[in-house]
Structure 1
Amino acid sequence: MTNRFEIDGEEVLDGEVKPFGNSAHVTVPKRWRGADVKVVRTSEPTEQVEE
């Protein structure tokens, strides 16, 4: 089941979540520093991770 969200914003970036130590991250442009952002997962994870 997919949910639909409507978000007012300035710019959209498509990216991939990558491993980062014991966590994961998404890289955004340096010019976004200090900005408020929202992250929406649009697919099921391809890796199974033990928490």
Structure 2
Amino acid sequence: MENRFEIKGEEILDGEVKAFGNSAHVTVPKRWRGADVKVVRISEPAEEGDNE
């Protein structure tokens, strides 16, 4: 079942989560530095090892 969220904001960015050490990250524009952000997962994660 899909959940629906309503978020008010300034910009939206489509991206892909990439491996980063023992974690993962999403790259955003440098001009967003210091801003508050929210991250919403919109698909199931790939099986571990698929993106390495």
Identity among equivalent positions (%) equals 84
Partner of 1:34: 34
Query: What is the TM-score with the length of structure 2 in the denominator?
Result: 0.89
Does residue 7 of the first structure (1) align with residue 7 of the second (2)? yes
1:3-45 Cα distance to aligned partner (Å, 9 max, x none): 0000000000000000000000000000000000000000000
Report the Cα distance in structure 1 between the residues aligned to 2:15 and 2:39, rounded to whole angstroms.
Answer: 10
Report the Cα distance in structure 2 between the residues aligned to 1:48 and 1:24, rounded to whole angstroms.
Answer: 12
SS of structure 2 residue aligned to 1:35: coil
- Letter paired with 1:45: P
The unaligned stretches of length 5 or more in structure 2 are none
The unaligned stretches of length 5 or more in structure 1 are none
Once the 2 structures are TM-superposed, how far is the Cα of residue 47 of structure 1 from its aligned partner? 2.3
- Letter paired with 1:46: A
